Structure 1
Protein backbone atom coordinates (compact mmCIF):
# COMPACT_ATOMS: atom_id res chain seq x y z
CA UNK A 1 0.00 0.00 0.00
CA UNK A 2 2.80 2.43 0.80
CA UNK A 3 4.87 1.56 -2.25
CA UNK A 4 2.23 2.45 -4.88
CA UNK A 5 2.55 5.71 -6.82
CA UNK A 6 -0.31 8.24 -6.57
CA UNK A 7 -2.99 8.14 -9.25
CA UNK A 8 -2.86 11.17 -11.53
CA UNK A 9 -5.80 11.85 -13.78
CA UNK A 10 -5.92 14.27 -16.64
CA UNK A 11 -8.10 17.36 -16.39
CA UNK A 12 -10.28 18.42 -19.34
CA UNK A 13 -8.83 21.19 -21.55
CA UNK A 14 -9.91 24.63 -20.29
CA UNK A 15 -9.20 26.78 -23.37
CA UNK A 16 -9.89 25.91 -27.00
CA UNK A 17 -6.90 25.22 -29.24
CA UNK A 18 -5.33 28.27 -30.87
CA UNK A 19 -7.28 29.55 -33.86
CA UNK A 20 -10.42 27.43 -33.29
CA UNK A 21 -13.47 28.34 -31.19
CA UNK A 22 -16.63 26.35 -31.62
CA UNK A 23 -15.66 25.34 -35.14
CA UNK A 24 -14.83 28.91 -36.23
CA UNK A 25 -11.32 30.03 -37.09
CA UNK A 26 -10.21 33.05 -35.08
CA UNK A 27 -7.62 35.17 -36.88
CA UNK A 28 -4.56 35.93 -34.83
CA UNK A 29 -4.03 39.58 -34.06
CA UNK A 30 -1.16 41.07 -35.98
CA UNK A 31 1.79 41.88 -33.76
CA UNK A 32 2.46 45.57 -33.51
CA UNK A 33 5.83 46.61 -34.86
CA UNK A 34 8.29 47.54 -32.16
CA UNK A 35 10.55 50.50 -32.81
CA UNK A 36 14.14 49.54 -32.15
CA UNK A 37 16.69 52.35 -32.39
CA UNK A 38 19.66 51.80 -34.64
CA UNK A 39 22.62 51.16 -32.34
CA UNK A 40 25.22 53.89 -32.34
CA UNK A 41 28.60 52.77 -33.65
CA UNK A 42 31.28 52.45 -30.96
CA UNK A 43 33.49 55.39 -30.08
CA UNK A 44 36.85 55.66 -31.85
CA UNK A 45 39.69 54.11 -29.86
CA UNK A 46 40.82 56.46 -27.09
CA UNK A 47 44.14 55.75 -25.34
CA UNK A 48 43.64 57.74 -22.14
CA UNK A 49 46.86 56.55 -20.45
CA UNK A 50 49.01 57.73 -23.35
CA UNK A 51 47.36 61.14 -23.74
CA UNK A 52 47.23 61.92 -20.01
CA UNK A 53 50.82 60.68 -19.66
CA UNK A 54 52.03 63.04 -22.41
CA UNK A 55 50.39 66.06 -20.78
CA UNK A 56 51.75 65.17 -17.31
CA UNK A 57 55.27 64.65 -18.66
CA UNK A 58 55.14 68.06 -20.39
CA UNK A 59 53.84 69.74 -17.20
CA UNK A 60 56.76 68.14 -15.27
CA UNK A 61 59.29 69.42 -17.81
CA UNK A 62 60.28 65.91 -18.95
CA UNK A 63 58.99 66.47 -22.50
CA UNK A 64 59.01 69.45 -24.81
CA UNK A 65 56.05 71.83 -24.48
CA UNK A 66 55.51 71.67 -28.27
CA UNK A 67 54.00 68.19 -27.78
CA UNK A 68 50.96 69.84 -26.21
CA UNK A 69 50.02 71.11 -29.68
CA UNK A 70 49.64 67.47 -30.77
CA UNK A 71 47.22 66.46 -28.01
CA UNK A 72 45.38 69.65 -26.99
CA UNK A 73 43.45 72.39 -28.74
CA UNK A 74 45.55 75.56 -29.21
CA UNK A 75 44.00 77.61 -26.36
CA UNK A 76 44.50 74.75 -23.88
CA UNK A 77 48.02 74.00 -25.15
CA UNK A 78 49.01 77.62 -24.53
CA UNK A 79 47.50 77.63 -21.03
CA UNK A 80 49.13 74.33 -20.05
CA UNK A 81 52.47 75.47 -21.53
CA UNK A 82 52.56 78.22 -18.91
CA UNK A 83 52.26 75.68 -16.08
CA UNK A 84 55.45 73.73 -16.85
CA UNK A 85 57.68 73.27 -13.76
CA UNK A 86 60.32 70.67 -12.93
CA UNK A 87 58.70 68.06 -10.69
CA UNK A 88 57.72 64.40 -10.73
CA UNK A 89 54.16 63.26 -11.29
CA UNK A 90 53.06 59.69 -11.80
CA UNK A 91 49.72 58.04 -12.31
CA UNK A 92 48.58 55.92 -9.37
CA UNK A 93 45.80 54.10 -11.21
CA UNK A 94 44.60 53.52 -14.74
CA UNK A 95 42.51 56.47 -15.95
CA UNK A 96 38.73 56.14 -15.84
CA UNK A 97 37.01 57.07 -19.06
CA UNK A 98 33.36 57.97 -19.61
CA UNK A 99 31.89 58.56 -23.08
CA UNK A 100 28.93 60.97 -22.76
CA UNK A 101 28.66 60.76 -26.56
CA UNK A 102 30.44 58.94 -29.34
CA UNK A 103 33.03 61.65 -30.03
CA UNK A 104 33.56 62.89 -26.46
CA UNK A 105 35.54 61.26 -23.66
CA UNK A 106 35.83 62.46 -20.08
CA UNK A 107 38.87 61.23 -18.17
CA UNK A 108 39.73 61.17 -14.48
CA UNK A 109 42.81 59.73 -12.82
CA UNK A 110 44.59 59.89 -9.48
CA UNK A 111 48.22 61.01 -9.61
CA UNK A 112 50.97 61.32 -7.02
CA UNK A 113 53.09 64.47 -7.03
CA UNK A 114 55.64 65.44 -4.40
CA UNK A 115 54.16 63.07 -1.82
CA UNK A 116 50.57 64.22 -2.38
CA UNK A 117 47.70 62.45 -4.10
CA UNK A 118 45.94 64.70 -6.63
CA UNK A 119 43.07 64.29 -9.04
CA UNK A 120 43.33 64.98 -12.75
CA UNK A 121 40.27 65.58 -14.90
CA UNK A 122 40.09 66.15 -18.62
CA UNK A 123 37.72 66.21 -21.56
CA UNK A 124 38.75 65.07 -25.01
CA UNK A 125 36.91 65.38 -28.30
CA UNK A 126 37.45 63.43 -31.50
CA UNK A 127 38.05 65.82 -34.41
CA UNK A 128 39.80 65.29 -37.72
CA UNK A 129 40.52 61.65 -36.98
CA UNK A 130 42.30 62.38 -33.65
CA UNK A 131 41.49 62.88 -29.98
CA UNK A 132 42.18 66.39 -28.63
CA UNK A 133 42.00 67.56 -25.04
CA UNK A 134 39.65 70.52 -24.81
CA UNK A 135 39.93 70.73 -21.02
CA UNK A 136 42.60 69.45 -18.62
CA UNK A 137 42.94 70.26 -14.92
CA UNK A 138 45.15 69.03 -12.11
CA UNK A 139 43.04 69.57 -8.99
CA UNK A 140 45.42 70.63 -6.22
Structure 2
Protein backbone atom coordinates (compact mmCIF):
# COMPACT_ATOMS: atom_id res chain seq x y z
CA UNK A 1 0.00 0.00 0.00
CA UNK A 2 1.43 3.41 -0.87
CA UNK A 3 2.09 5.98 1.87
CA UNK A 4 -0.76 8.26 2.72
CA UNK A 5 -0.11 11.99 2.93
CA UNK A 6 -2.44 13.96 5.13
CA UNK A 7 -2.71 17.64 5.74
CA UNK A 8 -1.63 18.75 9.25
CA UNK A 9 -4.08 20.70 11.38
CA UNK A 10 -3.28 24.38 11.84
CA UNK A 11 -0.90 24.72 14.76
CA UNK A 12 -0.06 28.42 14.68
CA UNK A 13 -2.47 31.03 15.98
CA UNK A 14 -4.21 33.12 13.39
CA UNK A 15 -2.73 36.53 12.63
CA UNK A 16 -3.88 39.12 15.18
CA UNK A 17 -4.85 36.54 17.79
CA UNK A 18 -1.76 37.37 19.92
CA UNK A 19 -3.53 40.50 21.15
CA UNK A 20 -6.26 38.39 22.66
CA UNK A 21 -3.79 36.60 24.96
CA UNK A 22 -3.50 39.67 27.20
CA UNK A 23 -7.06 39.27 28.33
CA UNK A 24 -6.48 35.69 29.54
CA UNK A 25 -5.80 35.67 33.30
CA UNK A 26 -2.37 34.29 34.00
CA UNK A 27 -1.37 32.67 37.27
CA UNK A 28 0.70 34.88 39.55
CA UNK A 29 4.18 33.68 40.28
CA UNK A 30 4.34 31.97 43.65
CA UNK A 31 6.51 33.66 46.25
CA UNK A 32 9.69 31.80 46.98
CA UNK A 33 11.07 31.74 50.52
CA UNK A 34 14.68 32.84 50.61
CA UNK A 35 16.50 32.31 53.91
CA UNK A 36 18.13 35.40 55.37
CA UNK A 37 21.87 35.59 54.77
CA UNK A 38 23.94 34.01 57.51
CA UNK A 39 25.55 36.53 59.81
CA UNK A 40 29.35 36.29 59.63
CA UNK A 41 31.16 35.16 62.77
CA UNK A 42 32.56 37.83 65.08
CA UNK A 43 36.09 38.93 64.23
CA UNK A 44 38.70 36.61 65.73
CA UNK A 45 42.38 37.50 65.94
CA UNK A 46 43.60 33.90 66.12
CA UNK A 47 47.27 34.81 65.87
CA UNK A 48 47.06 37.11 68.90
CA UNK A 49 45.09 34.58 70.91
CA UNK A 50 47.58 31.77 70.25
CA UNK A 51 50.58 34.07 70.66
CA UNK A 52 49.48 35.19 74.14
CA UNK A 53 49.26 31.56 75.29
CA UNK A 54 52.63 30.67 73.76
CA UNK A 55 54.29 33.63 75.47
CA UNK A 56 52.88 32.50 78.82
CA UNK A 57 54.05 28.92 78.24
CA UNK A 58 57.53 30.23 77.38
CA UNK A 59 57.68 32.29 80.57
CA UNK A 60 57.72 35.65 78.76
CA UNK A 61 54.38 36.74 80.24
CA UNK A 62 52.90 36.11 83.68
CA UNK A 63 50.45 33.19 83.94
CA UNK A 64 47.66 35.51 85.13
CA UNK A 65 47.39 36.83 81.54
CA UNK A 66 45.75 33.51 80.61
CA UNK A 67 42.66 34.50 82.63
CA UNK A 68 41.88 37.16 80.02
CA UNK A 69 41.89 34.74 77.06
CA UNK A 70 40.98 31.26 78.35
CA UNK A 71 38.31 29.55 80.42
CA UNK A 72 39.31 28.57 84.00
CA UNK A 73 39.86 24.87 83.21
CA UNK A 74 42.36 25.71 80.45
CA UNK A 75 44.08 28.32 82.66
CA UNK A 76 44.55 25.76 85.45
CA UNK A 77 46.00 23.16 83.08
CA UNK A 78 48.33 25.52 81.20
CA UNK A 79 49.62 27.31 84.30
CA UNK A 80 51.53 24.19 85.29
CA UNK A 81 53.24 23.89 81.90
CA UNK A 82 55.23 27.15 82.01
CA UNK A 83 58.96 26.70 81.25
CA UNK A 84 61.63 29.04 79.97
CA UNK A 85 62.07 28.38 76.26
CA UNK A 86 61.63 30.04 72.89
CA UNK A 87 58.66 29.35 70.66
CA UNK A 88 57.78 31.11 67.44
CA UNK A 89 55.04 30.68 64.90
CA UNK A 90 56.12 29.32 61.52
CA UNK A 91 52.93 30.28 59.66
CA UNK A 92 49.76 32.20 60.24
CA UNK A 93 47.09 30.17 62.03
CA UNK A 94 44.42 28.36 60.05
CA UNK A 95 40.91 28.95 61.34
CA UNK A 96 37.84 26.81 60.69
CA UNK A 97 34.36 27.83 61.89
CA UNK A 98 32.21 24.70 62.49
CA UNK A 99 29.52 27.10 63.74
CA UNK A 100 29.26 30.86 63.79
CA UNK A 101 30.41 31.19 67.41
CA UNK A 102 33.04 28.41 67.47
CA UNK A 103 36.47 28.51 65.87
CA UNK A 104 39.00 25.71 65.57
CA UNK A 105 42.55 26.96 65.18
CA UNK A 106 45.68 25.14 64.06
CA UNK A 107 49.19 26.49 63.65
CA UNK A 108 52.71 25.19 63.22
CA UNK A 109 55.30 26.47 65.69
CA UNK A 110 59.04 25.99 66.10
CA UNK A 111 60.38 25.34 69.57
CA UNK A 112 64.02 24.52 70.32
CA UNK A 113 64.68 23.41 66.75
CA UNK A 114 61.58 21.18 66.50
CA UNK A 115 58.42 21.81 64.51
CA UNK A 116 55.27 21.26 66.56
CA UNK A 117 51.57 21.57 65.91
CA UNK A 118 49.23 23.61 68.06
CA UNK A 119 45.49 22.94 68.07
CA UNK A 120 42.98 25.14 69.87
CA UNK A 121 39.27 25.71 70.07
CA UNK A 122 37.78 29.11 70.80
CA UNK A 123 34.17 29.99 71.59
CA UNK A 124 32.53 33.39 71.46
CA UNK A 125 30.94 34.10 74.85
CA UNK A 126 30.10 37.29 76.70
CA UNK A 127 31.12 39.43 73.75
CA UNK A 128 34.62 38.01 73.27
CA UNK A 129 36.55 34.91 72.19
CA UNK A 130 37.66 32.45 74.89
CA UNK A 131 40.01 29.50 74.44
CA UNK A 132 38.23 26.36 75.61
CA UNK A 133 40.89 23.87 74.47
CA UNK A 134 44.61 24.26 73.82
CA UNK A 135 47.06 21.50 72.92
CA UNK A 136 50.65 21.45 71.77
CA UNK A 137 51.08 18.23 69.81
CA UNK A 138 54.66 17.04 70.28
For 1:132 and 1:43, the matched residues in 2 are separated by 14
Structure 2 counterpart of 1:9:
none
Q: Which has the larger radius of gyration?
A: 2
Gaps of 5+ in 2: 1-10
Aligned residues: CA RMSD: 2.0
User: SS of the residue aligned with 1:58?
Assistant: helix
For 1:60 and 1:35, the matched residues in 2 are separated by 54
1:79-98 to 2 correspondences below 5 Å:
79-98=77-96
Kindly state the Cα deviation for residue 69 of structure 1 after the two structures are TM-superposed: 0.7
Gaps of 5+ in 1: 1-13
Structure 2 counterpart of 1:75:
73
For 1:126 and 1:23, the matched residues in 2 are separated by 63
Structure 2 counterpart of 1:44:
42
Aligned pair count reads: 124
- Which of 124, 132, 135 is matched with 2:133 structurally? 135
User: SS of the residue aligned with 2:97?
Assistant: strand
Structure 1 counterpart of 2:113:
115
* Greater fraction of residues in helix: 2
Kindly state the Cα deviation for residue 15 of structure 1 after the two structures are TM-superposed: 6.9
- Which of 24, 27, 44 is matched with 2:25 structurally? 27
Q: Show CA shifts across 1:14-64 (max 9, x none).
A: 976xxx669454333322221111122221111111110000010111110
- The TM-score normalised by the length of structure 1 is 0.80
Kindly state the Cα deviation for residue 118 of structure 1 after the two structures are TM-superposed: 0.9
For 2:131 and 2:12, the matched residues in 1 are separated by 65
Kindly state the Cα deviation for residue 123 of structure 1 after the two structures are TM-superposed: 0.6
For 2:19 and 2:123, the matched residues in 1 are separated by 66
- The TM-score normalised by the length of structure 2 is 0.82
Kindly state the Cα deviation for residue 98 of structure 1 after the two structures are TM-superposed: 1.2
Kindly state the Cα deviation for residue 87 of structure 1 after the two structures are TM-superposed: 1.0
User: SS of the residue aligned with 1:131?
Assistant: strand
